[in-house]
Amino acid sequence: MKVSMIYMASGFGKRYGTNKLITEFRGEPLYLHGSVEQVPEAERFFNEDSDQGITASIKLGTEVAWDNADAYLYFVADQPCMAGETIARFVSEFMKSKKGIGCVCAKGHRGSPNIFRRRYKKELLALEGDQGGRQIMQKYPQEIWMMEVDERELKDIDQPADLTALRLELENT
Protein backbone atom coordinates (compact mmCIF):
# COMPACT_ATOMS: atom_id res chain seq x y z
CA MET A 1 0.00 0.00 0.00
CA LYS A 2 1.27 3.43 -0.92
CA VAL A 3 0.25 6.33 1.33
CA SER A 4 0.90 9.98 0.52
CA MET A 5 1.69 11.86 3.71
CA ILE A 6 0.47 15.44 3.64
CA TYR A 7 1.93 17.54 6.44
CA MET A 8 -0.09 20.72 6.71
CA ALA A 9 2.02 23.58 7.99
CA SER A 10 0.40 26.70 6.62
CA GLY A 11 -1.87 29.41 7.83
CA PHE A 12 -1.56 32.83 9.33
CA GLY A 13 -1.74 32.08 13.04
CA LYS A 14 -4.59 34.57 13.48
CA ARG A 15 -5.60 33.18 16.87
CA TYR A 16 -1.98 32.84 17.93
CA GLY A 17 -1.08 36.40 16.90
CA THR A 18 2.05 35.47 14.93
CA ASN A 19 3.50 32.53 13.01
CA LYS A 20 3.17 29.89 15.71
CA LEU A 21 5.00 27.26 13.68
CA ILE A 22 8.36 28.96 14.23
CA THR A 23 7.72 29.48 17.95
CA GLU A 24 10.32 27.64 20.04
CA PHE A 25 9.16 24.52 21.83
CA ARG A 26 11.68 22.32 23.59
CA GLY A 27 14.58 23.93 21.73
CA GLU A 28 13.17 23.71 18.20
CA PRO A 29 10.47 25.40 16.13
CA LEU A 30 7.02 23.97 16.75
CA TYR A 31 6.70 22.59 13.22
CA LEU A 32 9.67 20.25 13.76
CA HIS A 33 7.96 18.34 16.57
CA GLY A 34 5.61 15.42 16.47
CA SER A 35 5.68 13.02 13.61
CA VAL A 36 7.37 15.09 10.92
CA GLU A 37 10.86 13.97 11.97
CA GLN A 38 9.86 10.43 10.99
CA VAL A 39 9.58 11.39 7.30
CA PRO A 40 12.93 10.57 5.65
CA GLU A 41 12.37 12.57 2.50
CA ALA A 42 9.68 15.01 1.61
CA GLU A 43 8.75 17.46 -1.10
CA ARG A 44 7.67 20.87 0.10
CA PHE A 45 5.11 23.05 -1.60
CA PHE A 46 4.21 26.65 -0.85
CA ASN A 47 0.49 27.13 -0.30
CA GLU A 48 -0.38 30.42 -1.98
CA ASP A 49 -3.99 30.05 -0.80
CA SER A 50 -3.25 29.47 2.89
CA ASP A 51 -5.48 32.43 3.77
CA GLN A 52 -8.41 30.17 2.80
CA GLY A 53 -7.75 27.82 5.72
CA ILE A 54 -7.22 24.11 6.07
CA THR A 55 -9.25 23.21 2.99
CA ALA A 56 -6.69 24.94 0.77
CA SER A 57 -3.93 22.83 2.36
CA ILE A 58 -5.91 19.64 1.86
CA LYS A 59 -6.55 20.45 -1.78
CA LEU A 60 -2.94 21.40 -2.52
CA GLY A 61 -1.60 18.32 -0.73
CA THR A 62 -4.00 16.07 -2.61
CA GLU A 63 -3.15 17.67 -5.97
CA VAL A 64 0.60 17.16 -5.55
CA ALA A 65 0.37 13.70 -3.94
CA TRP A 66 1.48 10.58 -5.73
CA ASP A 67 -0.80 9.65 -8.61
CA ASN A 68 -0.77 6.01 -7.55
CA ALA A 69 -1.38 6.58 -3.83
CA ASP A 70 -3.78 4.16 -2.18
CA ALA A 71 -4.57 6.68 0.55
CA TYR A 72 -3.88 10.26 1.64
CA LEU A 73 -2.76 10.90 5.20
CA TYR A 74 -3.24 14.45 6.49
CA PHE A 75 -1.58 15.65 9.67
CA VAL A 76 -0.94 19.08 11.13
CA ALA A 77 2.14 20.93 12.32
CA ASP A 78 0.66 22.31 15.54
CA GLN A 79 0.37 19.01 17.46
CA PRO A 80 3.86 18.72 18.95
CA CYS A 81 3.09 15.60 21.00
CA MET A 82 1.79 13.46 18.14
CA ALA A 83 4.29 10.60 18.01
CA GLY A 84 5.65 9.12 14.81
CA GLU A 85 5.00 5.66 16.25
CA THR A 86 1.33 6.58 16.65
CA ILE A 87 1.13 7.70 13.03
CA ALA A 88 2.74 4.46 11.83
CA ARG A 89 0.36 2.32 13.91
CA PHE A 90 -2.61 4.42 12.77
CA VAL A 91 -1.82 3.91 9.07
CA SER A 92 -1.10 0.20 9.49
CA GLU A 93 -4.28 -0.52 11.42
CA PHE A 94 -6.39 1.67 9.15
CA MET A 95 -5.25 -0.22 6.06
CA LYS A 96 -6.30 -3.48 7.74
CA SER A 97 -9.70 -2.02 8.62
CA LYS A 98 -10.98 -1.89 5.01
CA LYS A 99 -12.84 1.31 5.90
CA GLY A 100 -12.59 4.34 3.61
CA ILE A 101 -11.82 7.05 6.16
CA GLY A 102 -9.82 7.01 9.36
CA CYS A 103 -9.12 9.41 12.19
CA VAL A 104 -7.55 9.35 15.60
CA CYS A 105 -9.61 10.20 18.64
CA ALA A 106 -9.22 10.67 22.38
CA LYS A 107 -12.16 9.88 24.63
CA GLY A 108 -14.42 9.88 21.58
CA HIS A 109 -13.32 13.30 20.29
CA ARG A 110 -11.98 13.13 16.75
CA GLY A 111 -8.74 14.78 15.81
CA SER A 112 -5.87 14.78 13.39
CA PRO A 113 -4.35 12.87 11.65
CA ASN A 114 -6.95 11.74 9.18
CA ILE A 115 -6.64 9.35 6.29
CA PHE A 116 -8.79 8.89 3.19
CA ARG A 117 -8.60 6.12 0.61
CA ARG A 118 -8.08 7.06 -3.01
CA ARG A 119 -11.80 6.72 -3.80
CA TYR A 120 -12.36 10.06 -1.98
CA LYS A 121 -9.81 12.01 -4.05
CA LYS A 122 -12.38 13.87 -6.16
CA GLU A 123 -14.30 14.89 -3.06
CA LEU A 124 -11.12 16.02 -1.31
CA LEU A 125 -10.26 18.19 -4.30
CA ALA A 126 -13.78 19.65 -4.34
CA LEU A 127 -13.85 20.74 -0.67
CA GLU A 128 -15.01 24.28 0.05
CA GLY A 129 -14.93 26.43 3.18
CA ASP A 130 -12.70 25.91 6.20
CA GLN A 131 -14.02 22.65 7.65
CA GLY A 132 -11.58 20.33 5.94
CA GLY A 133 -12.33 16.64 5.67
CA ARG A 134 -15.14 16.81 8.24
CA GLN A 135 -17.49 17.51 5.35
CA ILE A 136 -16.69 14.12 3.83
CA MET A 137 -16.84 12.37 7.20
CA GLN A 138 -20.32 13.76 7.80
CA LYS A 139 -21.41 12.41 4.44
CA TYR A 140 -20.02 8.89 5.06
CA PRO A 141 -20.19 8.20 8.82
CA GLN A 142 -20.39 4.44 8.25
CA GLU A 143 -17.00 4.56 6.49
CA ILE A 144 -15.09 6.03 9.46
CA TRP A 145 -12.59 3.93 11.38
CA MET A 146 -11.23 5.49 14.57
CA MET A 147 -8.17 4.76 16.66
CA GLU A 148 -8.01 5.87 20.28
CA VAL A 149 -4.83 7.73 21.27
CA ASP A 150 -3.56 9.47 24.38
CA GLU A 151 -5.28 12.82 24.87
CA ARG A 152 -1.95 14.66 24.96
CA GLU A 153 -1.14 13.62 21.39
CA LEU A 154 -4.19 15.49 20.09
CA LYS A 155 -3.37 18.76 21.84
CA ASP A 156 -2.94 21.43 19.26
CA ILE A 157 -1.52 24.88 19.72
CA ASP A 158 -3.95 27.60 18.70
CA GLN A 159 -3.01 30.34 21.16
CA PRO A 160 0.09 31.19 23.21
CA ALA A 161 -1.76 30.01 26.34
CA ASP A 162 -2.05 26.52 24.78
CA LEU A 163 1.72 26.28 24.43
CA THR A 164 2.29 27.60 27.95
CA ALA A 165 -0.15 25.05 29.37
CA LEU A 166 1.49 22.21 27.44
CA ARG A 167 4.94 23.22 28.67
CA LEU A 168 3.70 23.22 32.26
CA GLU A 169 1.97 19.89 31.83
CA LEU A 170 5.11 18.29 30.41
CA GLU A 171 7.26 19.72 33.21
CA ASN A 172 4.93 18.18 35.81
CA THR A 173 4.94 14.67 34.35
Q: Residues 73-105: pLDDT tens digits?
A: 998 989 999 998 999 999 999 999 999 999 999
**100 phi/psi in degrees, rounded to 5:** -90, -20
Q: Are 132 and 108 in contact (CB under 8 A)?
A: no
Instruction: Count the Cβ atoms, other than its own, within 10 Å of residue 39.
Output: 11
Side-chain-side CA neighbours of residue 162 (13 Å): 18
Q: What is the largest CA-CA distance in the chain?
A: 46
Q: How confident is the model at residue 162 (pLDDT cuts 50, 70, 90)?
A: very high
Residue 71 has pLDDT above 80, yes or no: yes
Write down the pTM of the prediction: 0.90
The residues with which 144 forms a beta bridge, in sequence order, are 101
Amino acid 173: pLDDT: 82
